[in-house]
Amino acid sequence: MTGPDAAEPLFTPELLDRCISCGFCLPACPTYALTQEEASSPRGRITLMRAVQTGQLPLADPDVSEQSSFCLGCRACEVVCPAGVQYGALLEQWRDAGWRGTGWWGSRRPLRLRALLFVAGRRRVIAALGRLRRAARTPDRPGSDQLLLGCFERLLYPRVSRSAVAVLPGVGATPSAGCCGALHAHNGALELGRAMARRLGAALPGTIVTTSGGCAAHLAEVLGRDRVVDASERLAGELDALPAGRLTTGDRPLRVALQDSCHLRNGLGVSGQPRAVLARIADYVEVAGADRCCGAAGTYSLLRPADSRRILAGKLDALEAANVDVVAVVNPGCLRQLRDGLRARRSPIRVMHLVELVAAAHDAAYDPGYGR
């Protein structure tokens, strides 16, 4: 694949032109922190995009392909950018262009990624497997707002889905609603991902309540911010209904840290709400780097496991140094990433989704077996 046709730019020119090359984003970028190389910084990647846009570099250039893949898509660069560069949108266009025309099953996507995207797109398969895993005890519960039961969350972490149903009593649950398409949009199938979000929006009219930052940000982008609310936002709006200081271990309050969801924090500006919920029900501990990507980054840990572990390592050090009992997450990908990393270290720190902790607080019983 070579440079683009001038009549059909790969990148939206107004998005690409917005960068003023100031470099304010460099300290925020986890991949730049690893390499200290300009090419793996947001500014360096935008320079590569511009070279592709003008035909100076082919899209298939090894450095271009490598940097498109090496980027976490965490969007930490967006929130510090004084020029309002929408880096996440540019990255979606980059990956979409990189894989466009290469076919689906015959594409260069790794087999595991193709299988993941294929399964996520099969609504009935996900719903059937979710029922086997008892993801929601109350199928098709009516409500004015609807809970999105995440595809992989209900298969891999059904207790998260069950906890969400339990702690959001006024919210309906429809296990057969389908996939939001975030994974597709972030992995080079932009239009398919958007179409899936629109289909889900039609299947779940009204406000969609999410337990995954990645799903929330994608749905908000396609359907509008007013259609989406994260569970942490909903819970923070009803703080008085949560049992204060309820989570304990032994004779002391449970020490709980948070791992932000990149897309929830950097895409939707939701970061204070989960902290407020945790501070209400436990002893909240702010750990340095909580706002930095954990390396899960959607499919990143599957596609680039070594880099993903390098990103994660410093975060695990900080959590262990802070001597916390539990790390709360607001995204199932972070749950898997942190749990795997801490298990590998034989750390006693547990990892739980925020809604699991809220459910435990209502039960007044923190089970030290949680999060194993």
Q: Which helix (H) or strand (E) holds 202?
A: helix 190-203
> Nearest approach, Cβ of 9 to ligand SF4 (angstroms)?
18
45 or 280: CB nearest ligand SF4:
45
The strand ranges marked E within 17-164 are 145-147
Query: If binding is defined by CB under 6 A, does position 243 make contact with ligand SF4?
Result: no
Give least dist CB 129 to ligand SF4, A.
31
- Nearest distance in Å: CB 36, ligand SF4: 13
Number of residues that bind ligand SF4 (CB under 6 A): 26
Per CB under 6 A, 72 contacts ligand SF4 = yes
**CB nearer ligand SF4, residue 186 or residue 234:** 186
Q: How far is the CB of 46 from ligand SF4 (least distance, A)?
A: 6
Q: Which stretch binds ligand SF4 (CB under 6 A): 78-86, 103-111, 173-181, 333-341?
A: 78-86
For tokens 């996939």, the residue is 179
* Smallest separation (angstroms) from ligand SF4 to the CB of 11: 13
- Rule CB under 6 A: is residue 76 a binding residue for ligand SF4? yes
Q: Is 371 in the site for ligand SF4 (CB under 6 A)?
A: no
CA distance 32 to 42: 8
Which helix (H) or strand (E) element contains residue 258?
strand 255-259
Tally of CB atoms within 10 A around 343 = 12
* Residue 295 binding ligand SF4, by CB under 6 A: no
Among left, alpha and beta (phi > 0; psi -120 to 50; other), residue 233 is: alpha
Cα separation of 281 and 166, whole Å? 16
Q: Which stretch binds ligand SF4 (CB under 6 A): 21-29, 98-106, 151-159, 343-351?
A: 21-29
Q: Which of 3, 4, 24, 89 binds ligand SF4 (CB under 6 A)?
A: 24
Asked whether position 21 contacts ligand SF4 by CB under 6 A, the answer is yes
Place of tokens 């908000």: 220
Contact 236, 48 (CB under 8 A): no
* 241 forms part of the interface with ligand SF4 (CB under 6 A): no
- Residues 142-161 binding ligand SF4 (CB under 6 A) are none
Task: Please report whether residue 178 would count as binding ligand SF4 according to CB under 6 A.
Answer: no
Which residues on adjacent β-strands are paired with residue 42?
none
Closer residue to ligand SF4 in complex, CB, 147/294:
294
What the block records as the tokens of 90 is: 């540019």
Shortest separation between residue 246's beta carbon and ligand SF4, angstroms: 36
CA-CA distance, 148 to 331, in Å (whole number)?
A: 13
Spatial distance between the Cα atoms of 221 and 3, rounded to a whole number of angstroms: 28
What distance in Å separates the CA atoms of residue 228 and residue 215, rounded to the nearest whole number? 10
In angstroms, the CA 50 to CA 262 distance is 25
Residue in 45, 184, 194, 350 binding ligand SF4, rule: CB under 6 A: 45
Tell me: does residue 43 bind ligand SF4 (CB under 6 A): yes
Spatial neighbors of 306 by CB under 8 A, at least 6 apart, are: none
Among 48, 49, 57, 81, binds ligand SF4 (CB under 6 A): 81
Please tell me whether residue 244 binds ligand SF4 under the rule CB under 6 A: no
Structure token pair of residue 118: 């294929």
Q: Which tokens in the block code for residue 174?
A: 């429809």
Q: Contact with ligand SF4 (CB under 6 A): which of 10, 11, 16, 19? A: 19
* Residue 101 falls in which region: left (phi positive, over 0), alpha (psi -120 to 50) or beta: left
Residue whose CB is less far from ligand SF4, 81 or 287: 81
Which of 13/142 has CB closer to ligand SF4? 13
Q: Residue 15: how many CB atoms within 10 A of its CB? A: 17
Q: How many secondary structure helices (H) and strands (E) does the chain include?
A: 21, 10
Which segment (8-16, 27-35, 205-213, 298-306) binds ligand SF4 by CB under 6 A?
27-35
Residues that bind ligand SF4 (CB under 6 A): 19-25, 28-31, 42-43, 45-46, 71-77, 81, 83, 85, 87
